[in-house]
A and B are shown apart, each in its own frame.
Chain A
Amino acid sequence: MTLDFSVVTDAWQSLAFGALGTLFLAIAGMSIATVIGVLGVAILRAQMRVPSFLVTAFVEVIRNTPFLVQIYFIFFALPLAGVRLNPTITAILALGLNGGAYAIEIIRGGVESIPTGQTEAGLALGLHKHEVFRFIVLKPAIRAIYPSLSSQFILLTLTTSICTSISAYELTSVGQRIEAETFRSFETYFTLTGIYLVISLATMWLLAEIGRRAFNYPQR
């Protein structure tokens, strides 16, 4: 068997756009996941029974079901409820919800690692609980778990490939099309592997850079 990478090099534009699609899904998904993570933990901290239960249930459902089923569920269930979303929006929503559930768990761990003295100092100064969370606890908490959160987000970036199942525009779907048109499976997936590796490394760098800038205060 001879290898022929021209099928891949000929399609470099599609691949480049696919890679951008993947990055877009990943970054949008991470942003939503971060918001869900922070809001979820804020709700848990407010210690109101019904909202806390809903957050806990959400986390458990997401963490104990496969992502592929979740994305199909959103894709096919929402239209039944009269909501029509295009595949890309659906993918971002699914990635955000899935990543958000894991982010809640991780950020909650970070919040619990912050000494109670921090909260007490805030309360003693007259701040309310929600202000203590927002201005005092949140940043050090996220710093404490930033490495775990970053790994989770790398995972989220790779999970974007599953979004091909609902034909969202991203790298794996581009690869599948090239393969279908050329029958050059090895060359195609070898190349995809390389591109995913680069995307992963780039995401890692991006997250590290964000962390370096956001958490630039010295620690004991």
Chain B
Amino acid sequence: MTHPNETKTAQPMVMMRDVEKYYGTFHALKNINLTVAKGEKIVLCGPSGSGKSTLIRCINALEVSHGGEIVVAGHSLHNDQKAIDAVRRVVGMVFQQFNLFPHKTVLENCILAPMRVRKLSRAEAEATARKYLERVRIGDQADKYPAQLSGGQQQRVAIARALCMEPKAMLFDEPTSALDPEMVKEVLDTMVSLARDGMTMICVTHEMGFARQVADRVIFMADGEIVEENDPENFFRAPKHQRTRAFLGEILAHH
């Protein structure tokens, strides 16, 4: 006999079934099947143009998929605005280019969506913002503008801004690729601590150290397909496919 709560926890956070995606005639995602459980941490890697960004952007409907089914936190994405709203309400996203709003201070960046979307009062939104800014260790910069921060600080603000919506899952699209090397660690540390707290995470990244440290599964994509997936231990030790081996060889040579 199953307890009602059990069926709920058994429901996956993200379920993609037979998903296809085209840009015009270009076939960007081919028959994607992926299930991410609550609390699971996925690292997505693969060569440039393999469709990693496209895949995670389908999860929060920044891209429209053309076949198959995507269900996120119980909401089936069928291009109706209600489902899209519901999904974006519970899924946060962090971008390679930070995408902070330049005309708003750090604090204002963090309270806009909580006030408009979660309908928090300004006081509540500010309290939430300060909590998460502390959490990413940048509380003292609340009144600065994005342009006054370093890349690493900006990305941590972007993470805090997403956390202010109290999401159930977070998508990361190469969050450290635009950073100077000395700033990569501070952002990765933030992500590791988020992972430790049980956040469901899907990260496009080539930071293999991070993958080893937190990932439950590493997924390798090429040409719009999922080629291989495994737990990090086996993924790195014994990659099955030639393309994975070639890719890992290249990545690790650079590190």
Contacts and interface: CB of A to CB of B under 8 A. Distances in A.
Given A121-B95, A124-B92, A125-B165, A217 B117 contact: no
A218 B102 CA distance: 8
A12 to B, nearest CB: 44
A140 B103 contact: yes
A131 interface: yes
B88 interface: yes
Nearest to A214: B103
A124 B99 CA distance: 11
Contact of A135 (B60, B92, B116): B116
Interface residues of B, number: 27
Interface in B176-213: none
Contacts of B158: 121
A126 B147 contact: no
A217 B102 contact: yes
B162 interface: yes
Contacts of B21: none
Among B91, B116, B161, max chain A CB count under 10 A is at B116
A212 interface: no
A219 interface: yes
B39 to A, nearest CB: 21
A136 B108 CA distance: 11
A46 interface: no
Nearest to B105: A217
B98 to A, nearest CB: 8
Interface in B114-149: 116-117, 145, 147-148
A219 B147 contact: yes
Given A120-B62, A123-B88, A217 B95 contact: no
B103 A118 contact: no
A66 B71 CA distance: 57
Among A115, A118, A135, A219, max chain B CB count under 10 A is at A135
A36 B116 CA distance: 25
A139 interface: yes
Given A218-B147, A220-B147, A126 B113 contact: yes
Interface residues of A, number: 23
Contacts of A219: 102, 147
Contacts of B162: 124-125
B101 A136 contact: yes
Given A117-B97, A126-B85, A217-B145, A140 B113 contact: no
Interface string B64-105: 000000000000000000000100110111010101111110
B112 interface: yes
A124 B93 contact: yes
Nearest to A118: B99
A125 B112 contact: yes
A118 B116 contact: no
Contact of A126 (B95, B99, B104, B165): B165
A127 interface: yes
29 contacts: A115-B97, A115-B99, A117-B99, A120-B95, A121-B95, A121-B99, A122-B101, A122-B113, A124-B60, A124-B62, A124-B88, A124-B92, A125-B88, A125-B112, A125-B117, A125-B161, A125-B162, A126-B116, A127-B112, A127-B113, A127-B116, A136-B101, A136-B112, A140-B101, A140-B103, A143-B103, A217-B102, A218-B145, A218-B148
Interface of B: 60, 62, 85, 88-89, 91-93, 95, 97, 99-104, 112-113, 116-117, 145, 147-148, 158, 161-162, 165
Given A117-B99, A217-B145, 15 more contacts: A121-B93, A121-B101, A122-B113, A124-B93, A125-B92, A125-B161, A125-B162, A126-B85, A126-B165, A127-B116, A131-B116, A135-B116, A140-B101, A140-B102, A220-B147
